[in-house]
Amino acid sequence: YIHIINKADMAASKGLKILVGCKRVIDYAVKVRVKPDRSGVVTEGVKHSMNPFDEIAVEEAVRMKEKKLAGEAVAISVGPPQSQETLRTALAMGIDRAIHVEIPLAQLEKLQPIHVSKLLAKVCESEKPDLVILGKQAIDDDCNQTGQMLAALLDWPQATFASKIEPSQDSKQLRVTREVDGGLETIDVSVPAVVTSDLRLNEPRYATLPNIMKAKKKPLAKMSPDQLGVDLQPRQEVISVEDPPVRKAGAKVESVEDLVGKLREKGLVK
């Protein structure tokens, strides 16, 4: 008895190929300080780590690999030389290999979501992933633009703010539960697709010491924007960066009547 498997069946059996984004940002626990000249924020000597939403994206890719839904998971970071540390963290969490698109420090502050989207699109052309998972936003700029721009550039379906991802048995479709203002929305998208992760998608694991050591031997490829043919000319100019206004102290009231009286004094109620 001979069973013949065609190439399409073999490709399906290997599962999805996932490309997952990892951005290096100022650690969420660090108090951000504005530069004296108000041109940006202080980054020198400040602790950096992987963007928390990207950490969730990495965890989801690794879980899909563990469930045999994905065949290969590749991490990519667009950033300075130090972004390699972020990629090594992703590799230690269980990602197979990494790609670093290195941005010169002189150009880093002018790097914008449109540039990152174009760089990711170029990498997608060569890597040909079935699924791209990105964090829904980065905690440094809160732009929430890269995933949507990437989907537009590739002309792929997109599912943003994902709190659950369920691939079909043949891995040709994804059922994604999205967090929206009114609650939850469930949509089906065909692959290849772009998905952005929300906070409740999963809880990222901690990288163990043995896996951190193994990560040092995993492949990490370097690229440059010039190699990918992407112009990093900024589309926007930052005029000034300001600290948020200091919140004024509140006042206690003894009763509802006192509260209404205070509001009337300020002309907030009639």
Domain residue spans in the chain? 13-245
Indicate the length of the chain as a whole number: 270
- CATH architecture classification, 13-245: 3-Layer(aba) Sandwich (3.40)
Question: pTM for the complete prediction?
Answer: 0.84
pLDDT tens for each residue of 196-211: 999 999 999 998 999 9
pLDDT score of 4: 46
Rounded alpha-carbon distances, angstroms, from residue 27 to 2, 44, 214 = 57, 13, 24
pLDDT tens for each residue of 122-131: 999 999 999 9
Segment 220-228 shows an average pLDDT of 95
Pick the residue with more confidence: 103 or 4? 103
